[in-house]
Amino acid sequence: MEKQGLIDLSELKPRNYETFFLKRNPFPGIGVPSDTIPFTVDREDIKKRFTETIAELQTNETGLITVLIGDYGSGKSHLLKLFKQSVNAYLLSQDPAILAVYIKSPGDDFGEFFTQFIDDIGRSLLTAYSQEVFREYFISHRSDALKHFPSEELKTIFNENTYEIGDMVRKSRYLDVFREIKREKFSDIGSNDLIYAFLSLSHPDLSTRAWKWFLMDKIDKKDYRDHLMIEGPIDNEKVAYAIFKNFTKLLRLLKIGSVENLHSPR
């Protein structure tokens, strides 16, 4: 007993997972789900309930609250991330679209909620929507768009439809284009800062600054005002709430009819 202690470790052997057609234990040592969830097991009742909730939301377009209850480590976050993936894979491309957002915790104030909300939607998705706005503008307002390209070469590329959105936005008189799109498509949205930050996501040289503004990072006010036409940062929860309300209007104008907010309790 003195030699081996309380546990005999003299003949250690690794577990054999070949019976399950595995080389090793596929589950992490700590129950923290990854952002990409491939599957779930034995949750048919919960999946059915969630599907019914989404169907009701899609049909009635009204707010709904569904609570998922379980002990710590029981897989709530895993399921919520899986639900988010499913909604965005199948319903985000429909008309009207449904967008699912996963928020780990609402936070201590609305500013924290807002940054988590924006961060989970993601820069790539918002940029794709921003570029689609420019694409629609260039197609439907060709003559107006042409006057914002300073060179004949750019006008030729534009007329031949052999351009990339980001490159054309960068080389255009983009501030004038921003104003026209704001007046044409987003006149009902009260926050100019929100619209100019959203449109700036399509500009390769401004995209990072615009994204920092969305995430409430500290900014150089003069730099933002001169380049993005943004008057000020989102620096407190009152401003964050006002931007959030306008942001939901923006999503509706982008034909996203509903936003499903999924979050785990602390």
Q: What is the pLDDT of residues 185-214, one digit of tens each?
A: 999 999 999 999 999 999 999 999 999 999
Residue recorded with tokens 């679209």: 97
1, part of any domain? no
- Which of 67-71, 72-76, 212-216 has the highest average model confidence (pLDDT)? 212-216
102 versus 64: the higher-pLDDT residue is 102
What domain range is 77 assigned to?
35-263
Does residue 201 sit within a domain?
Answer: yes
Q: Average pLDDT, stretch 85-108?
A: 87
**Average pLDDT score over the chain:** 85
Residue 54 lies in a domain: yes
Residue 90 lies in a domain: yes
pLDDT band with cut points at 50, 70 and 90 for residue 1: very low
Task: Note whether residue 55 is domain-resident.
Answer: yes
The confidence band for 218, taking pLDDT boundaries of 50, 70 and 90, is: confident
**More confident site: 253 or 61:** 253
Into how many domains does the chain fold?
Answer: 1
What mean pLDDT is predicted for residues 21-27? 81
Residue 15 lies in a domain: no
Q: Give a yes or no: residue 22 inside a domain.
A: no
* pLDDT over threshold 50, residue 220: yes
pLDDT in tens, 116-158: 999 999 999 999 999 999 999 988 888 888 888 888 887 888 8
